[in-house]
A and B are shown apart, each in its own frame.
Chain A
Amino acid sequence: MNITRLTAMEIREKVINKEISSKEVVKAHLNRIKELDEELNAFITITEEEALKAAERVDEKIKNGESLGKLAGIPIGVKDNIITKNVRTTCGSKMLENYIPPYDATVIERIKAEDGIILGKTNLDEFAGSYSTESSYFGVTKNPIDTERVPGGSSGGSTAAVKAHEVALALGSDTGGSNRQPASYCGIVGIKPTYGLVSRYGLVPLANSLDVVGTFGRNVKDATLLLEVIRGYDEKDPTSMEIEGSSYLEKLKEGIKGMKIALPREYMNMDMDSRVKGKVMETVKLFEILGGHVEEVSLPHVEHYWATYYLIVVSEISSNMARYDGVGYGYRTEDYDSLDELYIKSRTEGFGEEIKRSILAGTYILGSKEGREYYEKAFRVRTLIKEDFDKVFEKYDVILTPTTPNLPFKIGDSIKNPFEMYGSGIFNIPANLAGLCAISVPCGYVDGLPVGLQIIGDRFKEANILKAAYALEEELALGGENNGL
């Protein structure tokens, strides 16, 4: 049996049935990491010792006939902007290179409570602030499908690790597409839940009003399983909510007969890679065959997405990055003569270029009269964008779009053409601005590169997008096609 080829669901079943031990599962995946990760660089920190101990506890429970959690024995990767107690959490930044937090994020507590096994912390763009994982202080992560290409970002370490079978599941975070775009680029499933479905306590904020913790798997069921575990109200995060109703997993098989599906006209008319567009249009037809009713709709404010998102995101970034000042924890410059110099040098040396650009832009926006006018206008436009979606969801269950307008680009290209990289998140941004749920699910390959379909659902209507994604996955049965490494 090739353990690393098993799905998360299969691993749990086989561990509980004592076909394999949890320790064997962990060892197989750790070996896989050792074999591949020097090349891939999906991990910043590998927690071998803790993982083996956790596996022993699971095996002990099985031996003692104790009941087991929903994630029993499943190896999981955690994006390194999610706080882990006593395990360094770097956010991909020199600033936090040696930062060891004293507490666990709520999502980590929940994973541990369900016997999931964390194998390590995965690479990301610095503070999750870009789209290629190239801005990490710990080096770029390579795309397992084509190692000359980026895995996308900012959750590129998590998506590469899942794709390469280094772990079965992973956590990511999504502020403007950081789960969906890399999931699409790596040909896996990535879920961006509704804002408030999952506790953000312990997610290091990039932009608090947009950030969510999401999940990755190589199939819809696996990604859904992890979402099921981490979702729900947390008293430590007042923006989190409990949603009543039966489990998503039970609903997956309901199918999409009669589902009302919207296709935004403005999106499909945008400038994009024709191969992507072609693949997506093919997929849309499949939904009709599966019993859905697809109709074109209008989402008129698409041309304002980027500006609105940018104004809000850089403002929140500049505020959130203020705490990294070299005083209490994190990087401090070696040489300083005054308090001001301590601040300036620590921040100049500790932050990378991409984050510094955002801090500068955000400081200007919040600190100048003109900037504040833009900022306030962005909030008003954000409301308009929300209303666009509210209108669509009055009549439709889900919206289909390409996850990205392009295919995974080559490492280094984004420096030559940053706008192409930023543009890759254009279809992802509105779900963050409007607080909606969305999923990226593989819909095929063109020229050996994966294409992702994005399915957007109304707030807290995760069941709809998961059902639709599952139906598509079952129909396509892409399983074997170009799995890369």
Chain B
Amino acid sequence: MGYKTIVGLEIHVELLTKTKIFCNCVNEFGGDANTHCCPVCLGLPGAIPKLNKGALEFGIKAGLAFNCQISEWVKMDRKHYFYPDLSKGYQVSQDDNPLCRNGYVEIEVEEGLKRIGIQRIHIEEDTGKSIHTEGGDTLVDYNRAGVPLIEIVTAPDINSSEEARMFLENLRNILRYIEVSDCKMEEGSLRCDVNINVVDTETGKKTNITELKNLNSFKSVASAIEYEERRHISLLEKGENTAKETRGWNEVENKTVVMRDKGSADNYRYAVDVDVLPVVIKKEWIDEIRDSLPELPHQKKERFIKEYALPEYDAGVLTQSKELAQFYEETNKYAKDPKQVSNWVMGDVLRRLNDEEMEIVDLKFQPKDLADLLEFINAGKISNNIGKKVLREMFETGEKPEAIIKKKGLIQISDEGELEGIIEKVLDENQQSVIDYKNGKDRALGFIIGQVMKATKGKANPQLVNKMVRERIEKR
């Protein structure tokens, strides 16, 4: 193929500070309209912003986690445009001196690790929210106005929808690890815009950059990139070019549609906001923040491989989220076999969580409960299959495995005396199968064992049944 896709992302992330960026109003999602507001975040005449140290600290944290250089000092700038949800006619943001610069996030591609550059991260205030009523009115809720944001701008290093998805997942995992944001796209605490164009690698001919908005999930980011890739290439093939424009993703029709023309560059008339005094960021403070950073996903993954002798794949899955990794480690404290724990967590636990669209923190049972369950299996008290049934029950009721096993009488039958009678009865009832097996039809044995298990409601120790059935047939 002679085409290369070039993608850069702009990601807005709401920070989890207690208060807003320039006032003491509470920073909380939701709430009755216009109840988390004061003269400052409403932008009333005469009110003066005061920079929240926490917002700066969270911004620095993110910068350090993404391997950025942190600016020695910062100022805030006014970015002017008119929109009803913008209470002052300008957004207080950062123009030419962003808080963080020149970082990267790594993703795993076929050839190995690939670095996606982060050009800059700056802090700014969020705007209010316009609400369009059925009657055709527009109302504005300013609860969100003044919520601290970071804007993360990547280099155009992303070359496919899959790379974009991996990048976003890693970025989100890191932001959640360092607890600066909950990164919920559905609540708008993580928002992503895409800049995309395509270059013909033989002729060097490029399409104009299209800006994509209205992307409400990582999936729509990927789909929109794929759609645009095809659109740009087909235009190039026809010898045409794309218009410089902003397009929105229409999830229902699975396509992008023109939002606005970007023929002339935006003119935001940036000017320094002299009300917010410049802040010097001391090296000691940066060091303090760096020291306070938790173990990041890739570091945790390395450790899991070493400490628990896990395959790289397992370690990668288990460290996707801080909570999942924590659940795994906690279970391991009580269990004996880290790989077995990994199999169960990655397998039955994660599968069920995904099916139910739940998070690990929503589990009704504790890590120790899972470890106890595994101990029942390892001690031969229940079979693997019974174990899975018990786990399902734990999932639904949160009951302890021991209680479930007792209540349902699931303890494995390993008593030869008890099994003998059952086996003899099955053999008597299935004479033909016994003959078949003796004539060399191995499948008949499986059938007989199945009948024994059925007769014991699955509680018979399978290894023991296998051994005993063979012996009894031999004796006949």
Enumerate chain A interface residues (CB-CB to B < 8 A): 82-83, 89, 91, 96, 99, 101-103, 105, 200-205, 208-209, 235-239, 315-316, 318-319, 321-325, 327-329, 339, 343, 363, 366-367, 375
Q: B38's closest neighbor in chain A, by CB?
A: A103
When A and B form their complex, which 3 residue pairs have the shortest distance between CB atoms, in order from nearest? A322-B89, A366-B269, A209-B274
B455 beta carbon closer than 8 Å to chain A: no
B45, B88, B271, B276: the one within 8 Å of A315 (CB): B271
Most chain B Cβ neighbours within 10 Å, of A200, A239, A324, A327: A327
Q: Give the chain A neighbours of B42 by CB distance below 8 A.
A: 328
Q: Give the chain B neighbours of A99 by CB distance below 8 A.
A: 45
B39 touches A103 (CB 8 A): yes
Most chain A Cβ neighbours within 10 Å, of B45, B47, B82, B273: B45
Q: How far is the CB of A213 from chain B (nearest CB, A)?
A: 11
Q: Give the chain A neighbours of B47 by CB distance below 8 A.
A: 103, 201-202
Q: B279's closest neighbor in chain A, by CB?
A: A238
**Contact sample, A vs B, 19 pairs, CB 8 Å cutoff:** A83-B44, A83-B46, A89-B45, A101-B46, A202-B46, A204-B46, A205-B275, A208-B274, A236-B48, A238-B275, A238-B276, A239-B48, A316-B271, A316-B274, A322-B88, A324-B89, A329-B44, A339-B84, A366-B271
B213 beta carbon closer than 8 Å to chain A: no
Q: A210's closest neighbor in chain B, by CB?
A: B274
* Mask of B37-66 contacts with A, CB within 8 angstroms, 1/0: 001001111111011000000000000000
Q: B82's closest neighbor in chain A, by CB?
A: A343
Q: How far is the CB of A261 from chain B (nearest CB, A)?
A: 32
A204 touches B45 (CB 8 A): yes
Q: How far is the CB of A116 from chain B (nearest CB, A)?
A: 19
Q: Give the chain A neighbours of B328 by CB distance below 8 A.
A: none
Q: Give the chain B neighbours of A105 by CB distance below 8 A.
A: 46
Q: How far is the CB of B256 from chain A (nearest CB, A)?
A: 24
A363 touches B45 (CB 8 A): no
Q: A82's closest neighbor in chain B, by CB?
A: B46
A202, A209, A238: the one within 8 Å of B50 (CB): A238
Excluding A202-B46, A324-B89, A366-B270, 12 further A-B contacts by CB distance (< 8 Å) are: A83-B45, A101-B46, A103-B44, A105-B46, A200-B46, A201-B48, A315-B271, A322-B80, A325-B89, A327-B140, A367-B267, A367-B269
A204 to B43 alpha-carbon distance, docked (Å): 11
Q: Give the chain B neighbours of A205 by CB distance below 8 A.
A: 45-46, 275
B87 beta carbon closer than 8 Å to chain A: yes
A323-B89, A327-B84 given as contacts; is B45 within 8 A of A238 (CB)? no
Interface residues of B in 276-330 (CB under 8 A from A): 276-277
Interface residues on B, range: 20 to 34
A367 to B269 alpha-carbon distance, docked (Å): 5
B45, B80, B90: the one within 8 Å of A101 (CB): B45
A238 touches B274 (CB 8 A): no
Q: B270's closest neighbor in chain A, by CB?
A: A366
Q: Give the chain A neighbours of B140 by CB distance below 8 A.
A: 327-328
Q: Give the chain A neighbours of B273 by CB distance below 8 A.
A: 208
* Mask of B85-118 contacts with A, CB within 8 angstroms, 1/0: 0011110000000000000000000000000000
Q: How far is the CB of B326 from chain A (nearest CB, A)?
A: 40
Q: Give the chain A neighbours of B459 by CB distance below 8 A.
A: none
Q: Give the chain A neighbours of B271 by CB distance below 8 A.
A: 315-316, 319, 366, 375
A459 to B167 alpha-carbon distance, docked (Å): 52
B48, B78, B269, B275: the one within 8 Å of A363 (CB): B269
A89 to B90 alpha-carbon distance, docked (Å): 22
A369 to B51 alpha-carbon distance, docked (Å): 30
Q: How far is the CB of B202 from chain A (nearest CB, A)?
A: 37
Q: Give the chain A neighbours of B50 by CB distance below 8 A.
A: 235-236, 238
Most chain A Cβ neighbours within 10 Å, of B46, B80, B140: B46
Interface residues of B in 174-191 (CB under 8 A from A): none
Q: Give the chain B neighbours of A363 by CB distance below 8 A.
A: 269
Q: Give the chain A neighbours of B84 by CB distance below 8 A.
A: 327, 339
Q: A127's closest neighbor in chain B, by CB?
A: B45
A89 to B46 alpha-carbon distance, docked (Å): 11
Q: Give the chain A neighbours of B274 by CB distance below 8 A.
A: 208-209, 239, 316
A328 touches B87 (CB 8 A): yes
* Mask of B406-438 contacts with A, CB within 8 angstroms, 1/0: 000000000000000000000000000000000
Q: Give the chain B neighbours of A209 by CB distance below 8 A.
A: 274
Most chain B Cβ neighbours within 10 Å, of A96, A201, A315: A201
A238 touches B80 (CB 8 A): no
Q: Give the chain A neighbours of B87 by CB distance below 8 A.
A: 323, 328
B46 touches A325 (CB 8 A): no
Q: How far is the CB of B219 from chain A (nearest CB, A)?
A: 32
Q: How far is the CB of B238 from chain A (nearest CB, A)?
A: 35
A236 to B39 alpha-carbon distance, docked (Å): 11
A480 to B46 alpha-carbon distance, docked (Å): 39
A101 touches B82 (CB 8 A): no
B48 touches A200 (CB 8 A): yes
Q: Give the chain B neighbours of A202 by CB distance below 8 A.
A: 46-47
Q: Give the chain B neighbours of A89 by CB distance below 8 A.
A: 45
B46 touches A203 (CB 8 A): yes
A323 touches B48 (CB 8 A): no
Q: B88's closest neighbor in chain A, by CB?
A: A323
Q: B49's closest neighbor in chain A, by CB?
A: A238
Q: How far is the CB of A171 from chain B (nearest CB, A)?
A: 13
Q: Give the chain A neighbours of B267 by CB distance below 8 A.
A: 367
A192 to B46 alpha-carbon distance, docked (Å): 19
Q: How far is the CB of B396 from chain A (nearest CB, A)?
A: 50
A200 to B48 alpha-carbon distance, docked (Å): 8
Q: B50's closest neighbor in chain A, by CB?
A: A238
Q: Give the chain B neighbours of A339 by CB distance below 8 A.
A: 84
Q: How far is the CB of A317 from chain B (nearest CB, A)?
A: 11
A237 to B47 alpha-carbon distance, docked (Å): 9
Q: Give the chain A neighbours of B80 by CB distance below 8 A.
A: 319, 322, 366
A202 to B45 alpha-carbon distance, docked (Å): 7
A99 to B45 alpha-carbon distance, docked (Å): 10
A238-B50, A316-B271 given as contacts; is B82 within 8 A of A325 (CB)? yes
A363 to B82 alpha-carbon distance, docked (Å): 13
Q: How far is the CB of B276 from chain A (nearest CB, A)?
A: 7
A203 to B267 alpha-carbon distance, docked (Å): 29
Most chain B Cβ neighbours within 10 Å, of A89, A105, A203, A239: A239
Q: B84's closest neighbor in chain A, by CB?
A: A327
Most chain A Cβ neighbours within 10 Å, of B47, B87, B90, B267: B47
B275 touches A239 (CB 8 A): yes
